[in-house]
Amino acid sequence: MKVGVPRETVPGERRVALVPEAVGKLTKAGTEVVVESGAGLGSGHDDESYRKAGATVADRNAAFGADLVVKVQKPSAEEIALLRDGAAIVATLQPLTNAETVRALAAKRATAFSMDMIPRVTRAQPMDSLSSQSNIAGYKAVLVAANSLPKFFPMLTTAAGTVTPARVLVLGAGVAGLQAIATARRLGAVVEAFDTRPVVKEQVQSLGGKFLEIDLGEQGEGTGGYAKELSEEAHRKEQELVAKHVKDADVVITTALVPGRRAPILVTADMIKSMKPGSVIVDLAAEMGGNAELTAPGQTVVREGVTIHGEVNWPSTVSVHASQLYARNVGSLLGLLVKDGALALDMNDEIVKGALITHEGNVVHDATKKAMGQA
């Protein structure tokens, strides 16, 4: 089997799907790897490092002409056209919100796996790129906030008097939120956190954060450990709680996402207006519309004296380690999918079933079919 690693072309994307470390493991196992020239430069890996790992460095057509293509971002229409008919592809397809991409892959008879659809079961943890990349986003969000905030994060006792610590509010205590809590605490901030899933309270407290509790009248946890969309009444209660704490926060980091949906609005324009001048919001849900009403996806803006960061690809800003971790996730998935140098799919395997989106000309993923309005 030949595995292709093309260069990512989405503006601002510096990651690569396989780093030389991961390529070396594949080539030692007898897999041929073709890397597009320049694919690893954004993450610190030149062509020679891939050659040393056993890969062939070639042009774009050769990388997309492989039996199995691995990417970070979903393929564009032009990239899908470069795939061989019936080839396999592994990427972050976001199939619930990218119907055209899914249709094009099915028309190409591609066997397409989506990294963001891998079920969160114990056996799949080494393949869980959502967690590995969210961990990076949570870390970087705090560093960006600390750099933007015109205050210290820690309490300082100086000859000129004591400086009180910054107050950080984290909304959503999934992987990104928990890393944000841990990083903010390491920098000395006082941290509060809220999540619609009471089960995360102990995790928040173990990191030194204060968990904000409220009776929403329903559970906020959906299938697979992900958050689910709340009823209007529960969402109203949620916003009331957030409003009480946002006005006293120096930094608000939002991370709330619901699979296949627009990110819920947790911080309204009125709440932002109530914040102290110079305060900072880092919206990690900006790619899906944002948790803050005044977030501008892809931009950093100042609204009502508050700096709002709406970057849509935080992992790419830490491209060396983001690529390393993503490549390990991909390598673990390939270990499941490839046997004796060929693609061997066990359709009864829960990981295969959860991540396989298109196969033999059909959309085979239940949630994707539902999102596309198919029976």
> Active site includes 125?
yes
List 51, 109, 120, 186, catalytic entry: 120
List 226, 239, 261, 303, catalytic entry: 226
Q: 149-176 in b/e burial notation, b at 16+ Cβ within 10 A? A: bebbbeeeeeeeeeeebbbbbbbbbbbb
List 7, 14, 15, 128, catalytic entry: 128
List 46, 123, 125, 248, catalytic entry: 125
Angle at 265 between CA 260 and CA 269, to 5 degrees: 150
> Active site includes 139?
no
Q: What is the CA radius of gyration of the chain?
A: 22
Of 346, 333, 311, 312, which Cα lies nearest the Cα of 17?
333
Q: Would you give the DSSP letter of residue 349?
A: S
> Active site includes 319?
no
Q: Angle between the 319-337 and 129-148 helix axes, to the nearest 10 degrees?
A: 170
Round to whole Å and give the CA distance between 3 and 348.
Answer: 24
For 109, half-sphere exposure in the C-beta direction (CA atoms, 13 angstrom radius) is: 6
Q: Is 51 exposed, middle or buried (0-12, 13-18, 19+ CB in 10 A)?
A: middle
> Active site includes 226?
yes
Q: How far is CA 290 from CA 97, 243, 250, 295, 296, in A?
A: 15, 17, 19, 6, 8
List 51, 84, 131, 349, catalytic entry: 131
Residues 6+ apart with CB under 8 A from 119: 224, 350, 351, 354, 355
Q: Are 70 and 4 in contact (CB under 8 A)?
A: yes
For 258, half-sphere exposure in the C-beta direction (CA atoms, 13 angstrom radius) is: 18
> Active site includes 270?
no
Task: Return the active site residues.
Answer: 120, 125, 128, 131, 226
